[in-house]
Amino acid sequence: MLRRGRERDLASTSLPEPREVQMARNRCLRARTAGGLGIGAVLGILGAAVVFAIGWYTDRRGEETALLGFDGPGPAHPELDELPKLTRAQRGAVRDEFRATWRTPALATLDRPTMSPVRRAGLLTLRAYLVLACVLIVVKVVQTGIG
């Protein structure tokens, strides 16, 4: 029994580490931190690429009419029936003409936006990030307060 207690006492005393060991630990810590940041950056770029690809491959004609504020081709907007046949410059002219005359509708007349699965996932990710950031700030404040 006495021997175990002495070993614990000897193990609990911290001897100063040689300078080389400290430098090696610091290098390892910096490498892990840089590796984590690199992995996070790569995941962020991949996520942005996926979101961009999803937006790119959706129905472009539907997007253009939605961006222009039209409900779709029909009797109210016969020029949109010819939209795929228009050149890029002509589509730009139609878009510019619409933008010049467009006015913001009354807020009471607007419908609630639809929540697509991609938008819902993005908002959930943003909320989780904000909660995690707040928790980490509270932890850091408590650590700083304790000493």
The residue that leads in pLDDT, 19 or 81, is 19
- Rounded to whole angstroms, how far apart are CA atoms 140 and 44? 25
> Considering only CA atoms, which of 65, 96, 69, 99 is closest in space to residue 83?
65
The residue that leads in pLDDT, 59 or 83, is 83
- Rounded to whole angstroms, how far apart are CA atoms 139 and 105? 46
CA angle 110, 103, 72 (to 5 degrees): 65
pLDDT at residue 5 in the model: 52
> Considering only CA atoms, which of 95, 63, 103 is closest in space to residue 79?
95
pTM over 0.75: no
**In this prediction, what percent of the chain has a pLDDT beyond 70?**
69
pLDDT in tens, 129-144: 999 999 999 999 999 9
Sorted by where each begins, the domain ranges of the chain are 20-57, 59-102, 118-147
CA 7 to chain centre: 52
Residue 79 CB neighbour total at 10 angstroms: 13
pLDDT band at 10 (very low <50, low <70, confident <90, very high): low
Residue 145 CB neighbour total at 10 angstroms: 7
Listed in sequence order, the DSSP H helices in the chain are 2-12, 19-56, 60-68, 88-101, 117-146
Q: Is the pLDDT of residue 72 over 50?
A: no
Q: What is the mean pLDDT of residues 31-53?
A: 82
- Cβ-contact 84, 61 below 8 angstroms: yes
pLDDT band at 113 (very low <50, low <70, confident <90, very high): confident
pLDDT at residue 11 in the model: 52
